[in-house]
Amino acid sequence: MRYDLNLLRVFIALMEERSVTRAADRLGITQPALSNALNRLRDMLQDPLFIRERYGMQPTQKAETLAPGIIEAIGQLDGLVLEQQSFDPMRAQMMFTLAPNSYVEYVLIPAVVAKLRVLAPGIKLRITPFGNDLAETGVISGSTALVLGRIVDPPDNLIVQHLMDDSLACVVRADHPTVGNTLNKAEYEQLKHVNVMPPGRMRAGLFQALDRHGLKREVAVSVTHFLSVPEVIAVTDYCTTLPHQICRRLANDPRLKILPTPVDLGTFPVEIAWHVRYRHDPAHRWLRALIEDVARAL
């Protein structure tokens, strides 16, 4: 049987985007061209495949059944081709879209940019918000190259890899009237706290760690990004609990002092994930290795 492999790429785009408009944009074709390809797909596979509903194109049962095999087959073909291609970072001219959570953007991305400036000056990065779930990042559709942070319940088309672990520490102002160089449980619970509420699952991890140890906080202020925390701490008698790698950077601020948490709150993981289609892409693999090197250096 003869068939057009490009039709299978249309199938994958529709499965992942659930929208004719977004699928056409992703494939770089017009909407009429995509609709024509969908009609040919339906003839080839003898099924409607996608039904237009209020919130987009919903796959039929047959489409759901066929999807894993088609995605895997196209991924293997792409891998065979990409493995034959070479990648020269010094000569490369391209852009990668990354979706780091606020922690990764603060801790890792500056060092990644510094390395790119030396090793691959033609590679540009576009940072997009991590969002409240993976679908918002664009990594599930493959429009975003990498998502970095806490990856929870990833779909089958994502490859997830552990990147690093970090612990927690406390921060108060340097001339705090009641806190010395240590902080016990009673002192911690008597203080008012600044809480960081970034999008994603990191906030849940801290709450769970506090609950496990029966540690209570009175939260006076909740902010959305780590960058605003030192400015609040420096002008109040409040305390905050932050990742250790962020506290390392705040230790250079003479207005602040870093203290161990009153009990060991354990560690939290940082992960990196990408669409299966990039598994063998030489440029993508090179960038992943560079990010892994930066994480190891910490």
Read off the pLDDT of residues 10-61 as tens digits, 9 standing for 90 and up.
998 898 888 898 888 878 889 999 999 999 999 999 999 999 988 788 999 9
**What is the pLDDT, as a whole number, of residue 281?**
87
Q: How confident is the model at residue 265 (pLDDT cuts 50, 70, 90)?
A: very high
Q: What is the pLDDT of residue 204?
A: 61
Q: Which of 273, 294, 244 is nearest to 130 (CA)?
A: 273
Q: How many CB atoms lie within 10 A of CB 262?
A: 18
Fold (CATH) for 94-165+269-297? D-Maltodextrin-Binding Protein; domain 2 (3.40.190)
Which CATH number applies to 5-82: 3.40.50.2000, 1.10.10.10, 3.90.1300.10, 3.30.230.70? 1.10.10.10
Domain with CATH 3.40.190.10 in the chain: 94-165+269-297, 168-266
Sequence-distant (≥ 6) Cβ neighbours of residue 265 within 8 angstroms: 167, 168, 206, 209, 210, 213, 215, 241
| Phi (first) and psi of residue 286, to 5 degrees | -65, -45
DSSP type of residue 251: T
CA proximity to 172, closest of 247, 103, 112, 67: 247
Q: What is the mean pLDDT of residues 230-251?
A: 96
When pLDDT is cut at 50, 70 and 90, the band that residue 72 belongs to is confident
pLDDT digits (tens, 9 = 90+) for 95-108: 999 999 989 999 99
Measure the CA–CA gap between 275 and 139, rounded to whole angstroms: 6
- The pLDDT of residue 255: 97
Band the pLDDT of 83: cuts 50, 70, 90.
low
Provide the 10 A C-beta neighbour count for residue 115: 15
H or E element that contains 185: helix 185-190
Domain with CATH 1.10.10.10 in the chain: 5-82
**CATH no. of 168-266:** 3.40.190.10
What is the reported pLDDT for 191? 97
Q: What pLDDT was estimated at residue 209?
A: 84
The residues pairing with 269 across neighbouring beta strands, listed in sequence order, are 165
> Who has greater pLDDT, 267 or 140?
267
CA distance 84 to 266: 44
Q: Is pLDDT of 274 > 80?
A: yes
Contact 243, 268 (CB under 8 A): yes
